[in-house]
Amino acid sequence: MLLNSVVLVLQETLEAALLISMLLVISYQQLSRTSWLPVGLLVGVIFSLYYASQMAVVSEWFDYVGQEVVNAMLQILIVMLIVVCSWALFKSRRLITQGDPLKRNHFTDIFTFSATGAVALAITREGPEVFLYLNGFLQTSEHFQPVMIGSSIGFGIGVSIGILFFYSLLSLPDGWRLKVPVFFLALFAGNMLSQAVLQLTQADWISSARALWDSSGWLPENSIAGQLLYALVGYEATPSSFQIIAYAIGVTLVVGSAITANRIAKNV
């Protein structure tokens, strides 16, 4: 039970921790405003608790595929908010050089709102499974202690990886401190869209497609390295063609929004 708890909580913690790290590095360096983080965490915990309490009802939606559909919608919304974050960031950054503080503050507010929403939705997406898992053992004294110890270890590992990732990005040379986090945000968005396609495929909303390759023999998804790559860049051992297309769309949207915002602001 201890090992199962470590793996489950680590899986659910890692994606949110990495997303927070990337947004925090960008916010810390470019905008000097991190008020979105505690708000996003609080809203996310509240929403995830409510989502967990309504899971039985949600699961019956859309002919009993409600959980898959809602999770997919949450992931698509996260991608949209990440795209807005990227766009607002580069608009704000360009306005710094143009000496227009009022317009810059406007786009800073947009980034703050979008980052808050992205973090809140990420926790809403990941949290309910943890809460439901832990709730199942609250009434069982036999397994309660190992489950809580394992969950604490898994949560601690996930948060530690997020902190390590944050300081690694923060220690990059000046020319890379913005580009690398945005690049990872683009990969994260691709991962979210790929997962959304997988959820909708499981719900039979998207036709299933044959896997393009199988790399589980040399890097299983359930390994520590596999879990880290899955959370960071969307590693999938057996991806379908639809997932690859969705991944490419997610990356293109984030990178394209950054380039477009930078060019428009430059020409104004």
Q: How confident is the model at residue 32 (pLDDT cuts 50, 70, 90)?
A: low
Q: What is the pLDDT of residues 129-184, one digit of tens each?
A: 888 888 877 766 677 788 888 889 999 999 999 999 999 998 988 878 888 989 99
Q: Check the CA dihedral 23-24-26-32 and report its sign.
A: positive
- The model carries a pTM of 0.90
pLDDT in tens, 192-227: 999 999 999 999 999 888 888 888 888 887 777 777
C-alpha–C-alpha distance, residues 66 and 121, integer Å: 17
Q: What is the pLDDT averaged over residues 8-35?
A: 85
pLDDT (tens digit per residue) in 225-247 = 777 777 777 788 888 999 999 99
Q: How many domains does one find in the chain?
A: 1
Range of the domain at 127: 2-267
AA letter at 177? R
